[in-house]
Amino acid sequence: MTRDIVIAPSILAANFAKLGEEIAAIDAAGADWIHCDVMDGHFVPNISFGADIIKAIRPITRKAFDVHLMIAPVDPYIEAFAKAGADIITVHAEAGPHLDRSLQAIGALGKKAGVSLCPATPETAIEHVLDRVDLILVMTVNPGFGGQSFLDSQIGKIRRIRSMIGGRPIRLEVDGGITRDNAAAVAAAGADTLVAGSAVFRGNDSADYARNIGAIRLAAEAGRVPNSAPPARAVETALR
Ligand code: DX5
Ligand code: ZN
């Protein structure tokens, strides 16, 4: 069944000592996509994991792998993430001078292309690449770490990007500090895809994760903007 709201748990908050089991648990708990945060210790002040880990966990679930690259330079690594099994590859608008080229490279590899904006970056940075993207990711914390507090300053940007998207089949994703308490507000502003790390991986098992995902989904659905549903559905269908 196609659902309007997509919930993408970030495995950054998983227990890395049992990463495979954690992915199976969020799969069973109703995660729509698996959000993979790749950090290089250069573009962001933290190091997480790379393409080899993504390749190793790829067989565990059939859910879409939503790969968020917080790395610079990004172009030399796009192909490796495509080969590792990413379905969506998101690059940062701030990661290099040739965003349009990076997005073309992702599309040429047959993957969905995403672009992300840090909190201080205005939405005008992506004005001229809208026809190249399948997903726009608005960072609602400064990228680099899980467990940070949601930045209210991003709500207006989410609303403005929703209006820039118009009728295009682009998903609008939010990432950072998302909980059941702010899910309705981001959905009301126009987000249809919610990443959540610490708010999902709270508790011990798949049943806890299912409750967490369910609460975020319910809140987002309650806040949802009705007229943004058709384009969101089109992209989701394409990804399944
Ligand atoms: C931050 C990452 C996020 C983060 C989300 O740089 O892109 O995906 O892990 O984690 P929470 O939901 O804990 O803020
Ligand atoms: Zn992320």
Write out residues in the chain with pLDDT < 50, as ranges. 1-3, 229-235, 238, 240
CA 47 from centroid of its chain's CA atoms: 18
In angstroms, the CA 66 to CA 55 distance is: 13
> 68 CB under 6 A from ligand 1?
yes
Give me the number of domains the chain comprises: 1
| Each residue's pLDDT tens digit, 160-183 | 999 999 999 999 999 999 999 999
Cα(17) to centroid of ligand 2, in Å? 20
Q: Is residue 114 part of a domain?
A: yes
Q: Is residue 169 part of a domain?
A: yes
User: 2 with 189: CB under 8 angstroms?
Assistant: no
Predicted confidence at residue 165, as pLDDT, reads: 98
Q: What is the CATH number of the domain that holds 82?
A: 3.20.20.70
Predicted confidence at residue 3, as pLDDT, reads: 42
- The helix (run of H) or strand (run of E) holding residue 95 is none
**169-207 exposure pattern, b = at least 16 Cβ within 10 A, e = fewer:** ebbbbbbbbbbbebbbbbbbbbbbbbbbbbbbbeeeebe
Question: Which residue, judged by its Cα, is nearest atom 6 of ligand 1?
Answer: 143
> 196 CB under 6 A from ligand 1?
yes
Predicted confidence at residue 179, as pLDDT, reads: 98
Task: Report the catalytic residues.
Answer: 37, 175
Cα(181) to centroid of ligand 1, in Å? 16
Query: Percentage of the chain with pLDDT > 90?
Result: 92
In angstroms, the CA 11 to CA 9 distance is: 6
Dihedral sign computed on CA atoms, order 65, 68, 74, 75: positive
Cα 92 to Cα 170, 181, 219, distances in angstroms: 16, 27, 28
In angstroms, the CA 200 to CA 206 distance is: 10
How buried is 2 (Cβ within 10 angstroms: 0-12 exposed, 13-18 middle, 19+ buried)?
exposed
Ligand at minimal distance from the CA of 144 is: 1
Predicted confidence at residue 227, as pLDDT, reads: 54
Query: Which positions make up the binding site for substrate?
Result: 10, 68, 144-147, 175-177, 197-198
Q: What residue numbers bound the domain in which 127 lies?
A: 6-239
Predicted confidence at residue 37, as pLDDT, reads: 99
Predicted confidence at residue 240, as pLDDT, reads: 44
- Provide the whole-model pTM: 0.94
Cα(237) to centroid of ligand 1, in Å? 25
Question: Which residue, judged by its Cα, is nearest atom 4 of ligand 1?
Answer: 146
Predicted confidence at residue 93, as pLDDT, reads: 98
User: 191 with 138: CB under 8 angstroms?
Assistant: yes
Q: Is residue 1 part of a domain?
A: no
Ligand at minimal distance from the CA of 176 is: 1
